[in-house]
Amino acid sequence: MIIPDNTKAIVVGADPLSPRITPAFLEYAQARHFHIDPARVRAPQDKGRVERAVPGVRDDCFAGEVLLTLDDAHVRARTWCLDEYGLRRHSRTHRRPLEHFRAEELPALQPAPTTPYDIPRWSTPKVVRDQLASVAHATYSLPHPYVGQTLSARADTHTVRFYLRGLVVKTHVRQPPGGRYAFRNVTALQQQADQAGPVIGRFAAALLDGPLPWTRMRRVYALLSLLKRYGPTRVWACTAALAADMLDVRRLQRMLVLGLATPPAPPPARTLPRARYLRPAHQYALPLRPPADREESR
């Protein structure tokens, strides 16, 4: 267990009951399998517990030593723990610290890590209109429902994960600065246009028709924004534009603004006049007699 002194690099908000730990350090603690118990707020006794061992190590281990490199400090600290301080009897427990460590603390320790910790980089990118988000000077694609939202991104050496309210929404392979990992889902965009209506779907298919359909995706996005602005009742202009082979979204917008998208009113229903010599149907009925009358005539 580690008792940090409420430093801002570890503790975001100090609280005696539920302190908030920074995501980076909390993830590091979970990766190394140790527990964090921040010091109590405005409690000098915890600060003494945290810094109690500092003067002893400073004065007894390193004081008066000539240490030129960090490796020299490691060698001196190991010798001091095993041969000097580790063999002194404690004033309260009357046990040697080295014996106590090997008997009780060493069996509870986790195996030492064999690889250095991969320090992640956290950021809060916003998903722009093109379904893209920038992390560490690289661009990544996100699903369309997250356009306009601000996500939390975690980038390590190999992967980049995007979170929304603690849930993973997308995972990408880490790209170098300036790289681009954008999956242009033209099929999903066409399906979105088909859901808006058959006329919008045919117009979007005509816009995307070509050898490089992903270069025309912006036009389909503009078409869908016109649908949201003017409503599905005024999409008759798409039918007129398709009939005239006009695939310009800007001109389509001008048609909607000028009111040229209103379909012509159907002609009033007319009833055909009765013909001059047309007689009613009952005049063509034969004077058939009942079956009883026919038997009597025989």
Condensed to tens digits (0 to 9), the pLDDT of residues 259-291 reads 654 555 556 666 656 555 666 667 666 666 666
Task: Give the CA angle between residues 62, 66, 69 to the nearest 5°.
Answer: 90
Residue pair 128/147 in contact (Cβ under 8 Å)? The answer is yes
Residue pair 155/170 in contact (Cβ under 8 Å)? The answer is no
**Residue range 104-114, pLDDT digits in tens:** 888 888 888 88
Question: CA-to-CA distance for 262 and 198, rounded, in angstroms?
Answer: 18
Give the type of residue at 174: R
C-beta neighbour count of 135 within 10 angstroms: 23
Lowest mean pLDDT among 53-67, 125-139, 256-270: 256-270
* pLDDT number for residue 261: 47
Residue pair 38/45 in contact (Cβ under 8 Å)? The answer is no
Q: For the chain, what are the domain ranges?
A: 11-108, 121-181, 186-257
